[in-house]
Amino acid sequence: MSTSDDVRNVTIIGSGPGGLTAAIYTARATLEPLVIEGEPSSTSDQPGGQLMLTTDVENFPGFPDGITGPELMAGFRAQAVRFGAEILTAKVSRVDLTTWPFELWVGTTDGDPTYRSRSVIVATGASSLMLGLPAEQRLLGHGLSTCATCDGFFFRDQDICVVGGGDSALEEALFLSRFARTVTVIHRRDTLRASKIMQARAFDNPKIEFLWNTVVADLLGEERLTAVITADVATGEQTTRPFTGIFVAIGHRPNTGLFAGQLELHDNGYLRTFDDRSHTSVEGVFACGDVQDDWYRQAITAAGSGCMAAIDAERWLEAKGH
């Protein structure tokens, strides 16, 4: 294996469970991976990925008493660093996958690339969807939150709501019920997508109520959220409800913007991988985690696919003579 100063063997874009597992494996394979981990934000597109905004993780094997998302990701990161992964806190602004070695830019997209790399592992994950209401900008941080773990505490003894019907929505509702007086789950259908265990817990919780077949039409309040206007899906009838907190968990969008026109996507926007492996449509570019998974979307499956991408990249580089 040869390394030179200006061409990396492996560059990993993203640092959730997928990206950091790929980093651990490629670091142990002495490929000296560079992980471009992203930049701090509160939107779920940030170093450490979506788990940075979650509370107790109860389904990651090896932690019988659970572990918090940020603690788990700090462990992933430390393990990658221990084996020599280099981690850069920055966002990739542009990639060129039409030349080889591949080219990556951090910061300005003009001029020479910041890095050149023989292989790239895409682990950019997915971002939370917001409601798309103009009022969201004004009320973000003043009643509207993207992080139940961070902000639940501020809603002690208040009546608040969670929008969504999946595991994330119920996990947030259950967490928020520790603080709030009532938590109303607003869901546009009449059944939940969430797992049976989460549904059972939510139905058993006396503080959690459900508004079925309902969507959010608008948010009221200037300095702080004072009420939420909901609409009945069937009749369109609107109701003003005095919720002082709203948490949105209506799903995710894969972070593929960087690769537009360069990597093949599925019709639903997720990155396409081939042959039950981690290969993308460009030879030498591999993908793992939620950016290529619209089905399982778990920390453990992201980690598993990160391992696959690392092994695929290692074997591909070996076949190339590196």
Instruction: Round to whole Å and give the CA distance between 302 and 74.
Output: 16
Any catalytic annotation for residue 150? yes
Q: What is the total count of residues that contact another protein (CB under 8 A)? A: 36
Q: Are 192 and 165 in contact (CB under 8 A)?
A: yes
Other beta carbons less than 10 A from residue 40's beta carbon: 9
Q: Which of 5, 56, 110, 147 is catalytic?
A: 147
Q: Are 301 and 314 in contact (CB under 8 A)?
A: no
Nearer of residues 142 and 188 to another protein, judged by Cβ: 142
Q: Which of 45, 151, 290, 293 is catalytic?
A: 151
Contact characters 167-206, another protein, x per CB under 8 A:
----------------------------------------
Instruction: Round to whole Å and give the CA distance between 10 and 315.
Output: 12
By CB under 8 A, is residue 224 in contact with another protein? yes
State which of positions 55-94 bind another protein (CB under 8 A): 55, 68-70, 73-74, 89, 91
By CB under 8 A, is residue 154 in contact with another protein? yes
Contact characters 234-253, another protein, x per CB under 8 A:
-----------x--------
By CB under 8 A, is residue 142 in contact with another protein? yes
| Stretch of 47-55, 120-128, 198-206, 227-235 contacting another protein, by CB under 8 A | 47-55
Any catalytic annotation for residue 288? no
Nearest to 53 by CA among 125, 122, 123, 128: 128
By CB under 8 A, is residue 17 in contact with another protein? no
Nearer of residues 69 and 284 to another protein, judged by Cβ: 69
By CB under 8 A, is residue 19 in contact with another protein? no
What is the chain's alpha carbon radius of gyration, rounded to the nearest angstrom?
A: 21
| Stretch of 149-157, 229-237, 259-267, 277-285 contacting another protein, by CB under 8 A | 149-157
Any catalytic annotation for residue 307? no
Q: Are 140 and 148 in contact (CB under 8 A)?
A: no
Where do contacts with another protein occur on this chain (CB under 8 A)?
Answer: 39-43, 46-48, 51-55, 68-70, 73-74, 89, 91, 140-143, 145-147, 149-151, 153-155, 223-224, 245
